[in-house]
Amino acid sequence: MKYRNLGTTGEKLSAVGLGCMGMSFAYGPGDDTESIATLHRALDLGINFWDTADVYGFGVNEELISKVLVPNRDKVFIATKFGFRQKEGGGTYFDGSVAHMKNSVEASLKRLKIDTIDLYYAHRIDPNVPVEEMVGAMAQLVKEGKVRYLGLSEASVASIRKAHAVHPIAALQSEYAVITRGVEKEILPAIRELGISLVPYSPLARGLVTATVLDKSQLAADDFRRTLPRFDEANWDNNQRLAAGFGELAVAKGITPAQLALGWVLAQGEDIIPIPGTKKRKYLEENAGAADVVLTAGDLQDIEALLKKYPNTGERYNEGSMKLVNN
């Protein structure tokens, strides 16, 4: 495994991290036995950057991870997040208040069974809470030794600058993939100026470019992707053609579509550390192999040409979820 620096912290994180959400949340039924085996395999492969959140199964994912994290604490850089809360009757809302953050960090520490969280993110930006107030309270957690580094997720340039002025931000987590490029114009240049790493989630475009979802009907009834426009009929034909073309480029390169997708993300800069999610060892091993993928200028040009051919990929979230993205 190759390693990359986390911002200006001096921490060395695996170039390909592990997103743990799907083990307990959003992508159909879990398999704890296979998930535990996947976490152990991550250690074998040198994947030391694991990502979770308190909302993933509402604590269940953190508890699952703790079973492997605790006996291997020195081998894992663990990131978790706070902010999403359950509504009565179902659904979630975001609460970035200081009071909720203080309760959340204690709950996460208890579920993870550790004394200190390596990287603690605000999962979104709360429009009702000044960023400076929220990050100021998060900075207090660093002073108390409960958290080592701070991160933001899906934050705007203005929010990032305000936060960073209060306390150094080590990482920005945002969706970024070959078909999800929203951070490139303004956010990526800003965080590079500030020395903040980008941690892309869903770098495989939730399976779209890897051709692992050939028919929406194969998704579990509670699979989160059923709510996403990119899996709607209006965009389905475009995206299946794009996936087929992407697969052909991968075959020509002698790698898998997933490795090409991750290779593309990794090629966008040494300050980018993707966290592809999986709950199976076979996909983890495939993803890890992307750290050794080298893409030429010609490879990158071929990908751009394919994207121009099939541009109608659809929005990454539905309207309700997009409102939670801090623009």
Token pair for 253: 């390169």
Whether residue 209 contacts residue 246, with contact meaning beta carbons closer than 8 Å, is answered with yes
pLDDT of residue 281: 97
Whether residue 94 contacts residue 85, with contact meaning beta carbons closer than 8 Å, is answered with yes
Report the CATH number that the domain containing residue 202 is assigned in CATH: 3.20.20.100
- List the Cα angle 313/221/122 in 5-degree steps: 65
Whether residue 43 contacts residue 75, with contact meaning beta carbons closer than 8 Å, is answered with yes
pLDDT of residue 292: 97
Structural domain contains residue 325: no
- Domain total for the chain? 1
Alpha carbon distance 201, 21 (integer Å): 10
Structural domain contains residue 299: no
Structural domain contains residue 277: yes
DSSP code, position 87: P
Range of the domain at 107: 3-206+269-293
Asked if 56 is an active-site residue, the reply is yes
Q: Using DSSP bridges, classify how beta strands 84-86 and 92-94 pair: parallel, antiparallel or unpaired.
A: antiparallel
- Catalytic residue from among 27, 56, 149, 176: 56
Structural domain contains residue 233: no
Structural domain contains residue 177: yes
Structural domain contains residue 76: yes
Structural domain contains residue 326: no
Element of type H or E holding 201: strand 197-201
User: What is the full per-residue pLDDT of the chain (327 aa) written as tens digits?
Assistant: 999 999 999 999 999 999 999 999 776 678 899 999 999 999 999 999 999 999 999 999 999 999 999 999 999 999 999 999 988 877 889 999 999 999 999 999 999 999 999 999 999 999 999 999 999 999 999 999 999 999 999 999 999 999 999 999 999 999 999 999 999 999 999 999 999 999 999 999 887 787 666 666 665 555 555 566 566 666 778 888 898 999 999 999 999 999 999 999 999 999 999 999 999 999 999 999 999 999 999 999 999 999 999 876 767 655 655 555 665
Residue 106: other Cβ atoms inside 10 A: 12
Alpha carbon distance 241, 258 (integer Å): 16
Contacts of 126 (CB under 8 A, 6+ apart): 83, 94, 95, 96, 97, 134
Structural domain contains residue 94: yes
